[in-house]
A and B are shown apart, each in its own frame.
Chain A
């Protein structure tokens, strides 16, 4: 039983990271029905910038939490600038183009961002300075560390903040209006271009935070780390119902838990014919099964069809 609890803790932590990245995908999708394929790269840049700041400040003797916070504070504007640039260069000119065109220009932007990062931060795997001592807390037989608690708490806080913003502010109202019908929202006096740009900025800020979380939790960053993470988070967003904020959160956590349980139990249930190597297969099968029975994801309602 304690092993099961431990797997849940593992899964929820990983899932929280997915969720924060998935929020970025889902926000952009909700508003312009586009998959921002370069979002994972923004996460990577966030981790890299935070790495530079943390490495520079680590020997200064500041409290570790402040160092990480400083890293985050620098990473956020950098990522926002990149998010904004992405929107202006790769998406805005293509808003009326066939649906796959922005996908390709986003892939192009991913390649560019990755290799710019290679030039700045080298092609090496980058080890984060281990400044935060991980403190284990015991729950039954399971262990949860302070870093894991911080990650889960941060992602819940971000989700709550985002929900407040979207459902309680004028900006949020404008965003929802744009998401429902850009033309009509425009007629009602919403500056669509501004709203879309703001959406990208918020998504990028989330990505920055996610980057810092990933970097400091796993202690490692690499110029290609964004693609796999982005892919997982995108799957999570689809699982929850893309375009739907709580859906992204749910999808993220669920995917994390499914992966952890998959790695933990497939072997035992199949008499070791299949093992942890099929963890991703298991995750994708769950995803496909959900989509077959609920073609728009767990919480999704809109039928995304603009092929």
Chain B
């Protein structure tokens, strides 16, 4: 960072900011669906950043991460819907959801501290499933989550008279509900990115790196490995909880089927494909993987038609095949991810010798 011209950085940042601010209106020209897809992509960026703290920074493989997303979503949904007839404001429920997820992160972290590698992976996976099964079944004997029927009519964000769920025209621009949420999500994402980068470059970040590279050595250096690992779980989980609350509000309806194992695996894939440990890589991975299936959805059939004059293979199957192929190819040629972290690059170079 030292050698660069600070003025240029400001100009660059300004341009990026303008582009991000204008983005939803550009997308809306192509269809509001793209704004919605972008919003989901931002949610995945938040999830990937959260998981990156656990997997990328602290080196703990977590295959049940989606559970924290689920917890955040359910906390919001139960506190802001007709289900319990509670309608608390989002600036209360959203942080509360993150807090609950954070507590569960510690709860999960505690018994798994002794475990390493793949054993940790299977325990976290189990934890994710346990949470989902409870959400799916806590409808009887006492109805808490409404089981597989899910919670519907969840409140959108409201601030005074400003309702995120409604379309309106401001300053001559049409703000649809997805566009409003886009700006909110964008703001949250920027805060989370800054937090993550600050964490990475702090004492805590270096302690995580030490634990990841060699836990025994880290302990010998005087790092309290227990609490530093728990901290990774807690912070990672709270990002997930935060994203979950926003998912709840945007969707207006949630049920346990949104929080299945495949989602956890998806988020892990985003982190690894993008480049574990590298914040920008992780963001890239999340954006690519959440856009890829949608872009393919719009392109596969027209491309097939123009090539062969008709659909040879059903587009949805090709979409999945290409998606799988991309995962294999990226790992084949960029095994440390698209934008590897500096440490990984070094490691790989050493191994090749």
Contact = CB atoms under 8 A, between A and B. Distances in A.
A and B touching (C-beta < 8 Å)?
Answer: yes
Interface of A: 29, 35, 89-90, 93-94, 96-105, 107-112, 114-116, 118-119, 231, 234-235, 238, 242, 272-273, 277-278, 280-281, 284-285, 287-288, 291-292, 295-297, 303-307
A296 B136 CA distance: 31
Interface in B3-61: 55, 59, 61
Contacts of A108: 323-328, 331
Given A103-B272, A291-B119, A109 B328 contact: yes
Contacts of A285: 126, 130
> Which of B116, B323, B347 neighbours the largest number of chain A CB atoms within 10 Å of its CB?
B116
Given A96-B352, A108-B327, A111-B324, A291 B115 contact: yes
B71 to A, nearest CB: 16
Nearest to A35: B118
Contacts of A105: 327-328, 331-332
B324 A115 contact: yes
Interface stretch (B187-195, B221-229, B313-321): B313-321
B184 interface: no
A17 to B, nearest CB: 19
A101 B129 contact: no
B265 interface: yes
Contact of B122 (A89, A90, A234): A234
Contact of A306 (B114, B117, B122, B134): B117
6 contacts: A100-B268, A104-B269, A104-B272, A104-B331, A238-B118, A304-B119
A292 B351 CA distance: 33
B273 A235 contact: no
Nearest to A93: B332
Contact of B133 (A94, A235, A277, A305): A277
> Which of B326, B327, B336 neighbours the largest number of chain A CB atoms within 10 Å of its CB?
B327
B122 to A, nearest CB: 5
B317 A98 contact: no
B118 A295 contact: no
Contact of A98 (B134, B268, B327, B348): B348
Interface string B121-163: 1110111011001101100010000000000000000000000
A302 to B, nearest CB: 11
Interface string B217-235: 0000000000000000000
Contacts of B111: 288, 292
B116 A305 contact: yes
A278 B328 contact: no
A94 B332 contact: yes
A291 B112 CA distance: 9
A93 B330 CA distance: 12
B335 A238 contact: no
B297 interface: no
B261 interface: yes
A105 to B, nearest CB: 4
B137 A101 contact: no
A297 B55 CA distance: 22
Contacts of B112: 292
> Which of B111, B126, B129, B352 neighbours the largest number of chain A CB atoms within 10 Å of its CB?
B126
B180 interface: no
Contacts of B237: none
Given A100-B276, A101-B335, A115-B324, 9 more contacts: A35-B121, A94-B331, A101-B272, A108-B328, A238-B122, A281-B129, A281-B134, A291-B122, A295-B116
Contacts of B273: 104
Contact of A116 (B269, B321, B348): B321
Contacts of B115: 291-292, 295
A273 B127 CA distance: 21
Contacts of B134: 281
Contact of A111 (B119, B126, B327): B327
B129 A112 contact: no
A78 B256 CA distance: 37
Contacts of B119: 238, 242, 291, 295-297, 304
Interface string B272-306: 11001000000000000000000000000000000
A229 to B, nearest CB: 13
> Which of A96, A105, A303 neighbours the largest number of chain B CB atoms within 10 Å of its CB?
A105
Contact of A288 (B126, B133, B344): B126
B321 A295 contact: no
A307 B116 contact: yes
A183 to B, nearest CB: 13
Interface in B176-217: 212
Contacts of B351: 96
Given A104-B273, A280-B129, A295-B114, A115 B320 contact: yes
Contacts of A292: 111-112, 114-115
Contacts of A100: 55, 61, 268, 272, 276
A69 B327 CA distance: 36
B328 A98 contact: no
List the 3 shortest-distance A-B pairs measured between CB atoms, nearest first.
A108-B327, A97-B335, A111-B324
Contacts of A277: 133, 136-137
B338 to A, nearest CB: 12
A281 B348 contact: no
A112 B330 CA distance: 14
A231 B261 CA distance: 10
Given A107-B269, A281-B130, A284-B130, A101 B331 contact: yes
Nearest to A100: B272
